[in-house]
Amino acid sequence: MLAATPVVVAACSDNDTGGDGAGAQVAADVVPQMVPLSALKDADPGEVHLAYAPAVPPPAQRSEPRRFDVHLEVVEGMGDLDPSNNVMTEMWGFKVFGDKNKTTGAPGPVVRGRVGDVVRVTLTNPKSNMHPHNIDFHAVTGMHGGASDLLVPPGESAAIQARLLYPGAFMYHCAAEDVPMHIAMGMYGMFIVDPAEPLPKAEHEWAVMQSEWFVDEPGSDGMATFNRQNVTDENPRYVTFNGSVGAIADDNALKMKVGERARIYFVNEGLNLTSNFHPIGSQWDVVYPEAATHPDNVVIRGSQSTSVVAGGGTVVEMLGMTPSMVVLVDHALARAFDKGAIGHVMIDGPEDPEVYSKIQPPKDGGGGGGGEVVTPTTAAAAVDPSKPVETNEVTIIKGAFDPANADRSYTPPTIKVAVGDKVTWSNEDTIFHTVTSGPSDGSKAEPDGKFDSGNIEAGDTFSYTFTEAGEFPYHCEPHPWMIGTVIVE
């Protein structure tokens, strides 16, 4: 069984005589005492150790180490890289052995065990594949993280047995042949090792993996071809969460409620970039730096962003404090808005004005000043969202989904046209939006059925001709803080 207290060991220098102990230093060894293999019991058959991100397997409900089996299968094929724009590329990776529903492998399954457990991993490379593959588990202590003994050509299988010595969220990846290429093709996943004392309860646990895709501009058929030179140049065309653009955004958004706590196990699969993981519209209530969840380590409370090196991880927690959409990004923001590293967490529940509310600005322009200097240039550039602009063209701006841009997500926010005029909305954002008639209070919308664009994809437009006078409020269905008005005279 695992020791309840650390094992104390002495690290002695070569010239230590053992006399007065001057040459010895005492340190706490956090590696658990091991139950001998001969005495180790198998895990209950009902335990789940594999899941596909963003889902994670549930933690084991036991206090002693066990032995469990994991069987992974290599995948070589085509996969969706940017589904909303019909972009595909060749992807390699891993899946649960025998899973007929999984045809692409990026990212590979999330594996979960407990510190002190022994995992038996079998890797099968189907004979229909073209390349040899293996797995280097960052959680495994052994030659190349098991990669040397898991190298399998097409048509073969191999297996290892390994003790899980440290808790955390670890990367695993293929380390065969051209290692950077194999990782860049999607051959990676996450291994969660729980500490002996479980982490505090969280209502939600999710797995998020950031990765880079080194492909050329997609062709007319939507195919984006792997570019090895871009790997060397460290210049990815796409940076994604969980293997593709939009994997955890929009319709695939993560969901929680006000009052709940969510824990994210995050691994930066690389290949090259350091991630700057940030929740727009929230903070990390708890950060376990480097995903090192051993209780001896100190957590960080109330962080805005956390840095995650390539091949490293973090564990972060977020509280649902107010109804909103929290936007997960790599805050090197070109990677988010231009290359795809965006996710959404939809928080549902009652508003709490003690935490956040929209208010009216002071009529006299007062309110404390704050030291801002207003120049004629900045004053002229300011837009009064309540003042109608005579135009029949509205732009859905880039970043319109961000609640911070709510007052200009539709620009101009209020327009004035004549009866019979056709108004056109152009979506310059990177995700789809709607133009749906009806009022919205910023968190809850009430469509009235007068007009509805449906999904306006990035780069597309929607037009509507107004045939009667009146004032027509409208909103975006998935982003109810996006509000506009058309005044028809």
Binding residues for Cu cation: 133, 138, 173-174, 182, 187, 331
Closest to 191 in 3D by CA, of 227, 230, 164, 221: 164
Cα dihedral sign for 197, 203, 207, 208? negative
Q: Which helix (H) or strand (E) holds 183?
A: helix 179-184
The C-alpha torsion from 178 through 184 and 186 to 192, rounded to 10°, is: 90
Please say whether the beta carbons of 317 and 344 come within 8 A: no
Please say whether the beta carbons of 125 and 157 come within 8 A: yes
**How many angstroms separate the Cα of 38 from the Cα of each of 122, 196, 266?**
20, 21, 35
Q: Which helix (H) or strand (E) holds 464?
A: strand 461-465
Please say whether the beta carbons of 456 and 434 come within 8 A: yes
| Calpha distance 234→462 (Å, rounded) | 38
State in Å, rounded, how far the first CA of the chain is from the last one. 79
Beta-carbon neighbour count of residue 397 at 10 Å? 18
Buried-state track 446-475, b at ≥16 Cβ within 10 A, e below 16: ebeeebbbebbeeeeebebebeeeeebbbb
From the number of C-beta atoms within 10 Å of its C-beta (0-12, 13-18, 19+), residue 140 rates as: buried
What DSSP assignment string belongs to 99-137?
-TT----SSPPEEEEETT-EEEEEEEE-TT-SS-B--EE
Buried-state track 405-421, b at ≥16 Cβ within 10 A, e below 16: bbbbbbbbbbbbbeeeb
Parallel/antiparallel/unpaired status of strands 389-390 and 414-417: parallel
Q: Map tokens 């724009």 to a residue.
A: 85
Binding site residue list: 133, 138, 173-174, 182, 187, 331
For residue 338, give the 3-state DSSP assignment. Answer: helix
342 φ, ψ to 5°?
-135, 135
Beta-carbon neighbour count of residue 45 at 10 Å? 6
Please say whether the beta carbons of 450 and 419 come within 8 A: no
